[in-house]
Amino acid sequence: MSAAIQNATVPPQVLLAHYLKALKLPTFSREYEKVAFECAQDQADYPRYLLRLCELERIDRERRAIERRIRQARFPQTKSLDTFEFKAIPSLNKSMVLELARGEWIERRENCIALGPAGTGKTHTALALGLAACQKNYSVLFVTAAALVHELMEARDERRLRVIQRQLDRVDLLIIDELGYVPFTAVGAELLFEVFSRRYEQGSTLVTSNLPFDEWTSVFGSERLTGALLDRLTHHVHILELNGDSYRLASSRKAAKSGRSNSDSAAGDTINSDSKGGETPDS
């Protein structure tokens, strides 16, 4: 009864706004009048009117989901393959990178390791693959190895290690950047090993490192642990080799040179000046 009275006295726009909010259809709410007007002009019937609204809602919902995934991934910067200059790093297998950007390896719970010296584009590639994964609607988390170990140790001290571990387990693609710059304590190494161990065949992990495999023991301390870790990580793995000169160095040299000569600046320039300040320095 009260609903009938309500329906009779409250303007339909107000009730509609209320119901659409409760039903979580914000695009319907925002667009229904405009689309009604368009449909009247096009002489589109009611099913077509509803269909147009549903399509708009669906597109918007997908966009919001991707934005959410990107926020949750905690990327320190946005980098994509569109701005990656493959010509600058001939050792990198371009077709493998493009294939990885399709995301099927994440479905298969495989791993990826990007190896190479500082400034060769490992983090850029990892960020770009992470972004591509978000766009395919996979959940992603980007962390540096040092930050992850720090967080795990803190969680352990505060007796909430299980919570963090479960959160990590739920991520489709875990990106661990910069493995190798800072050696871990024995406890830190154990905790990181556990992360890899739990993810084995359960979720994808992408690791970037400046160290070749035979030097990973220097980071983990123990040969036994490193062996067991590599065994799991490399079972189903795609290895990206980025061997070459630092892109940063090359582009700042290039900038300095063109500043000095002050000539032939742009046309045919293959190295762009993406590497302005703000990124983490590698040392």
Residue ranges that bind ligand ADP, judged by CB under 6 A: 79, 83-85, 88-89, 116, 118-124, 247-248, 274-275, 279, 282
Question: Dihedral, CA atoms, 151, 153, 157, 159, nearest 10 degrees?
Answer: 70
Q: Is 123 in the site for Mg ion (CB under 5 A)?
A: yes
Q: How many residues bind Mg ion (CB under 5 A)?
A: 1
- Partner in contact with 279, chosen from Mg ion, ligand ADP, none, beta carbon below 5 to 8 Å by kind: ligand ADP
| Beta carbon of residue 121, minimum distance to Mg ion (angstroms, whole number) | 8
Q: Half-sphere exposure (CA, 13 Å, Cβ side) for 100?
A: 28
Q: Which stretch binds Mg ion (CB under 5 A): 92-100, 117-125, 157-165, 268-276?
A: 117-125
| Beta carbon of residue 51, minimum distance to Mg ion (angstroms, whole number) | 47
- Give the position of tokens 């995934």: 69
Which C-beta is closer to ligand ADP: that of 93 or that of 165?
93
The two tokens of residue 125 are 């590639």
| Beta carbon of residue 149, minimum distance to ligand ADP (angstroms, whole number) | 18
SS3 94: helix
Pick the closest to residue 247 from 75, 92, 77 (CA basis).
Answer: 92
SS3 169: helix
| Beta carbon of residue 165, minimum distance to ligand ADP (angstroms, whole number) | 27
Cβ neighbors of 195 (< 8 A, separation 6 or more) are 148, 152, 165, 168, 174
Provide the binding-site residues for Mg ion, judged by CB under 5 A: 123
